[in-house]
């Protein structure tokens, strides 16, 4: 192992590894990571070790990439608005707990990668239309839900008409 020098007090090779928490915050990501790094036994200052830092940076970058790909709260709100659908109803359509989307939107929870992907896919109106269709085929629809579903259907038709100019074409459901 390479010799480690404390730049604070000049002590050489008098270090111990300690667990410490580092916070990473930036555009589209925010997380904490536990890292195990050397500290000077004499003065307590952290000792910079190129190899260790390189490894930590790689791990952190991977996590940053991961988090940046996760759908944002704003993107979810945009989807809800474009299809004129409520948080609760879309959660049910996706087969999730009723408050799942609400939790994502209120910011207390971050969707995991697979849920994030499922929501992102809904940006494609055809995917949303299929989800709506499947739900209407399989579930017993309550009376009060019918109105909301109808609204969502008109929402998706509106989005589709914007896509390929099929204004006024009905019977897609
Ligand atoms: Zn020191």
Distance 31 CA to ligand 1 centre (A): 29
Alpha-carbon span 49 to 3, nearest angstrom: 10
Convert the pLDDT of each residue in 94-138 to its tens digit.
999 989 999 999 867 888 889 999 999 999 999 999 999 999 888
pLDDT over 70 (residue 58): yes
Distance 18 CA to ligand 1 centre (A): 14
Distance 14 CA to ligand 1 centre (A): 8
Helices (H) and strands (E) in the chain, counts: 7, 2
Pairing mode, if any, of strands 15-26 and 29-40?
Answer: antiparallel
pTM as predicted: 0.63
Convert the pLDDT of each residue in 6-23 to its tens digit.
999 999 999 999 999 999
Distance 38 CA to ligand 1 centre (A): 11
Distance 36 CA to ligand 1 centre (A): 17
pLDDT over 70 (residue 168): no
Mean pLDDT, residues 79-102: 94
Domain ranges in the chain?
15-69, 73-164
Alpha-carbon span 153 to 169, nearest angstrom: 13
């Amino acid at each position: 192992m390479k010799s480690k020098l404390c730049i604070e007090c000049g002590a050489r090779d008098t270090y111990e590894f300690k667990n410490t928490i580092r916070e990473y915050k930036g555009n589209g990501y925010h997380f904490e990571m536990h890292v195990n790094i050397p500290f000077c036994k004499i003065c307590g200052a952290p000792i910079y070790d190129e190899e260790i830092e390189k490894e930590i940076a790689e791990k952190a970058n991977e996590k940053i990439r991961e988090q940046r790909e996760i759908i944002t709260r704003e993107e979810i709100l945009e989807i809800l608005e474009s299809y004129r659908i409520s948080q609760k109803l879309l959660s049910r359509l996706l087969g999730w707990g009723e408050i799942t989307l609400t939790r994502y939107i209120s910011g207390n929870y971050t969707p995991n990668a697979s849920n994030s992907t499922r929501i992102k896919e809904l940006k494609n109106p055809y995917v949303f239309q299929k989800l709506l269709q499947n739900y209407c085929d399989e579930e017993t629809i309550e009376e009060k839900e019918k109105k909301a579903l109808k609204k969502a259907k008109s929402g998706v038709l509106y989005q589709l008409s914007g896509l390929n100019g099929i204004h006024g074409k009905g019977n897609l459901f």
